[in-house]
């Protein structure tokens, strides 16, 4: 089966949609499928390029904001798009922008089946702009979702929903395409955390390492974790580590440094941008890994942290599917409630052995999200559109 992935940029670093697409393509190729990519150029000119390359489209005035958000748009060269679509048996869409709309027009004309992955809620887009509380923009989010439904997803034979939360929401909005829950999947890695905690871990005087992995952006809501330090009885012993990059990097660094200067936390917060292997090691040694995002389709970063035995504390929100991975109510808290998060943090820091065991339980639970299993389910769903 010849599968065409349509995505604005397949290679841009720090972008979750691009990272997920790269992994899915590799997994599909590993099980014998012929997959090619229609996308804009790799930011690294020495790196690999798309099979069907498009030029980058740069927006006047807004381009710096787009780049700081870890995104890049491709132009809509109709000749290149048609060449790519003609090659394919199935055209798979990863976003809801102009490039995908043009691919749909050509695919319909050529009689090629269309499928899509629902990677992003409208709230992801709106909230990332930092223009105010979600409740103030419900009308805009509803309008966007209806536009995406009409012009993108209803043109598809199948839409991949990474979590039950996505499936439920699309059903409520009466999407016409066949919907199916298939995780984007994580690469199967052995858990580096040992089965029993080392003596150092049980030392009552040592600092506690709390790790947050994720883009430094509004929708990931790192400030909720920072504010939780003002309510935690262990704040003076907590060392915060934010692993990621993004448009809010400078602002979040200033906010975290203020906590340290005021003496709220006893250790200067750490900010880093890490390789995948470094993230695995950080997660394997962290005491806790909160995930505060009130808007999240799936949350691969916290899934990979759990894979390494990290005990999670995940925000519960109607716009997030991530909390479905938490195995215990004490591993959840109401989104954007720093006092509740502090209560969960204090509970788990009070119970080191139970925390260790809970982390290992989560590591075991992640085995079902092996990306090869996801790729096979995804392949079967796409193949069904050809029958």
The 3 state secondary structure assigned to 229-254 is CCCCCCHHHEEEEEECCCCCHHHHHH
Contact by Cβ (8 Å): 324, 183:
no
Query: Binning pLDDT at 50, 70 and 90, where does residue 14 land?
Result: confident
> What is the SS3 assignment for 32?
coil
Instruction: Tell me the sheet residues that pair with 240.
Output: 210
Whether 142 shows a pLDDT value over 80: the answer reads: yes
Rounded CA-CA distance 134/273 in Å is 28
By 3-state DSSP, what share of the chain in percent is helix, strand and coil, each rounded to 5?
Answer: 45, 15, 35
| Cα-based angle 66, 293, 354 (whole degrees, multiple of 5) | 145
- The residue-averaged pLDDT of 176-189 equals 95
Whether 131 shows a pLDDT value over 90: the answer reads: no
Contact by Cβ (8 Å): 54, 67:
no
- How far apart, in Å, do the first and last CA atoms of the chain sit? 12
For residue 254, the model assigns a pLDDT of: 97
Rounded CA-CA distance 214/10 in Å is 19
10 Å CB burial of residue 157 (0-12, 13-18, 19+) is middle
Domains in the chain and their CATH numbers?
A: 2-185+370-384 (3.40.50.2000), 199-368 (3.40.50.2000)
Taken in order 199, 200, 204, 208, the sign of the CA dihedral is negative
| Per-residue pLDDT tens over the stretch 46-64 | 999 999 999 987 777 666 6
For residue 136, the model assigns a pLDDT of: 62
Strand order in the sheet with 270-272: 208-213, 238-243, 270-272
> What is the SS3 assignment for 84?
helix
Query: Binning pLDDT at 50, 70 and 90, where does residue 141 land?
Result: confident
| Per-residue pLDDT tens over the stretch 101-116 | 999 999 999 999 999 9
Q: For residue 271, what is the enclosing H or E element?
A: strand 270-272
Contact by Cβ (8 Å): 25, 37:
yes
Whether 125 shows a pLDDT value over 90: the answer reads: no
Counting every residue written for the chain, the total comes to 387
């Amino acid at each position: 089966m010849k599968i065409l992935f349509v995505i604005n940029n397949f290679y841009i670093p720090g972008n979750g949609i691009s990272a997920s697409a790269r992994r899915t393509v590799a997994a599909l190729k590993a099980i014998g499928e012929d997959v090619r990519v229609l996308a804009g150029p790799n930011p690294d000119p020495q790196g690999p390029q798309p099979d069907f390359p498009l030029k980058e489209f740069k927006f006047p005035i807004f381009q710096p904001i787009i780049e700081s958000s870890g995104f890049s748009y491709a132009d809509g060269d109709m000749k290149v798009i048609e060449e790519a679509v003609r090659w394919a048996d199935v055209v798979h869409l990863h976003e809801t922008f102009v490039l995908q709309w043009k691919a749909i027009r050509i695919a319909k004309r050529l009689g090629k089946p269309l499928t899509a992955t629902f990677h992003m809620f409208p709230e992801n887009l709106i909230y990332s702009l930092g223009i105010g509380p979600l409740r103030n923009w419900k009308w805009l989010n509803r309008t966007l979702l209806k536009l995406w439904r009409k012009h993108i997803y209803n043109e598809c034979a199948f839409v991949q929903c990474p979590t039950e939360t996505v499936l439920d929401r699309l059903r409520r909005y009466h999407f016409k395409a066949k919907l199916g829950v298939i995780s984007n999947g994580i690469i199967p890695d052995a858990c580096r955390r040992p089965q029993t905690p080392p003596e150092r871990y049980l030392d009552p005087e040592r600092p506690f390492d709390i790790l947050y992995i994720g883009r430094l952006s509004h929708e990931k809501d790192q400030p909720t974790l920072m504010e939780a330090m003002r309510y935690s009885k262990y704040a003076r012993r907590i060392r915060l580590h934010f692993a990621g990059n993004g448009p809010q990097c400078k602002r979040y660094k200033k906010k975290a440094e203020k906590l340290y200067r005021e003496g709220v936390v006893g250790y200067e917060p750490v900010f880093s941008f890490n390789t995948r292997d470094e993230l695995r090691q950080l997660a394997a040694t962290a005491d806790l890994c909160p995930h505060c995002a009130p808007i999240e389709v799936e949350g691969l970063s916290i899934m990979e942290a759990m894979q390494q035995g990290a005990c999670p504390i995940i925000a519960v929100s109607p716009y997030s599917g991530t909390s479905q991975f938490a195995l215990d109510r004490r591993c959840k808290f109401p989104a954007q409630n720093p006092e509740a998060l502090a209560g969960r943090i204090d509970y788990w820091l009070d119970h080191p052995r139970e925390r260790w065991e809970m982390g290992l339980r989560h590591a075991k639970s992640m085995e079902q999200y092996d990306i090869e299993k996801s790729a096979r389910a995804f392949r079967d769903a796409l193949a069904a559109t050809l029958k």
